[in-house]
Structure 1
Amino acid sequence: MTARVGAWDALRGAAIALVMLRHAWPDVFPGAGVVGVVMFFALSGHLITGLLVDEAQETGRVDLRGFWWRRLRRLVPALVVLVVGFVVVTLTLDPLGDVDTLGRSVAVSLTYTANVPSVGLVGVSPAIYHLWTLATEEQFYLVWPLVVVLAVRAGRLRTGVALAGLVAALLCVVTVVWFRADPDAAYPLATSWLGCFVVGAASRVLQDRWPRPATGPAAVAAAVALLAVLSVVDLRGHAATYLLAGPAVAVATVVLVQAGRRHVTLRPAWRPLVALGTVSYGAYLWNYPLTLWLRPTLDDATGLVAVPATLLAAAASWWLVERPVQRAGRRPRAPAGVTAGR
């Protein structure tokens, strides 16, 4: 199966760092949130496709129910803890003055519908706005395995991914045209970002044919430079964000992913970023609500407190919730060459 690669954890760390910078200092890093989120989308496309393809090659089939159960086990427990914390803070302190939206906010959070038009980010607390990305991820996890299974059965995996890319591009164009009067309204919609997942998926399917110069120092430097520049550009409210900037960030990310295949472990200097990547899910869950809850009191100093508070919450989420649940659900691997029973 796909190995855990240190460089990919570092990429996760970079992605969540950009998201936190955007939340803490939006005037300085206006585009960092978009860049970080798209990096996560492209990484998910690459890694999830790898898991599915590897399983199909090793066992001759894909256990869809097993895949979906593992995704739920990985993501839901930490989300439930966040929702419990959100309920406690809202009922006791109500820092945003939106206790009347509590019930709907909880329902939207736990049903992964924050990105559904007229359902998600309507009448809910701003503290859960960021969960639109998790809804988008979960919907990708629900649909994409079916695409991969059908393509593998037909013996046309690359063709299937290419067709998915065309569909994703068409859906993005339709979305942009539909919301041309208010491009920012398309921001939380899955159809605005589906292509970024497919870029990641394509990089996994084509990794054996990936041109070596595209993983060299010049390509890596160009990818990093693009991500850095877009992080300080205001990307919200522009159709070009969905049509150009998002796909460009996804391509830059997969360049770094392919380069990272050669670095399963990294030099000690990269360990803080790798550690941040390890706890990136908890950090993403907690950073936005913590930032919003602290801002009315701390104003411009919010980031100085929200960032360390996020790191503490993320560490607690990893060590007390995510890691124990993963370990409890892990089954012994079969010896090499033996197909594990399903």
Structure 2
Amino acid sequence: MKIMVTGGAGYVGGTVAGLLAQQGHSVVVVDNLCHAQRNQVPAGVEFVEADIADRARIEGLFRDATAVNASFDGVLHFAALIEAGESMQKPEIYFRNNTASTLALLEAILACGPKRIVFSSTAAVYGEPEAVPIPETAKLKPTNPYGESKLLVEYMLEWFHRIHGLRSASLRYFNVAGAPEVGGHGTGKIIRGEAHEPESHIIPLVLDVALGRRSSIKIFGDDYPTKDGTCVRDYVHVADLADAHLLALAALETPLAAEQRLIYNLGNGAGFTVKEVVESARRVTGHPIPVELCPRRAGDPAFLIATSEKAIAELNWKPNYTQIDDIIRTAWLWHQIRHSK
């Protein structure tokens, strides 16, 4: 198959693009490199520097492919801003970049692209859940503009499916972490991992402390109604996430996808507090990792834990990394490699 991967120079998109290439698919990565670098694009894939908001440019890519008898079979859409905290300060750029730009992409797809798209959504569409673990049927009430910007895309996909027959899958995932191991789980061979600039995710920030690149890790709030007062999050390994995207892409060919939009939570089903993540990093790295307690951040729910039973049942998805120490182990391998260069 020939697949377009938007945001394919990023952490998750790049991991998925690399897996597609390894499995023999033709991959075209489209990325504007606003938060990524050209050298992060996986080997063996075609790269186009472009913004998905540029509808004419995206339509041109679809038409050029069709002209040479190699039309696209699907789109995997990762291009987005992802900082929930920043979205509380600058909501306008999230609605422009995540929502409006995706509308331009969808219009290009309707005009001349493949009628199949897998959308990188987020658990942030749920906001503060009424119960955990969170099922796909839970109320959708985002607590920040980031989650709202993604939810608006899901609404668009629903109407585009009803009216235009666009087949889509929304993958709502939780905290993505770790680094893919070449050859599979347990090999310890790492060639890429999480490298956001600026970095805001807790695991790479904690590992920066272990590497001496930061003096301490900030914990935002220790007065939540959790077992140790810090937020609880569900961590899913990026390699497991990549597997789910390929399974979702295949599922778009099934009769079920013709009848309804596919929606799946992706997580490991277990929640870990921020303090537990820090303790795990201490075990894995052997570093004391000092902590700095700070006030809560606006828009941070106390609990976000998924139930992924639907994805396991319908996609036959099976996460390989279920222990926080195992996830952090691969991330630690990557960070040592990355910062030794």
TM-score by structure 2 length?
0.30
- The structure that is helix-richer by fraction is 1
TM-score by structure 1 length?
0.30
Structure number with greater CO (CA < 8 Å, separation at least 6) is: 1
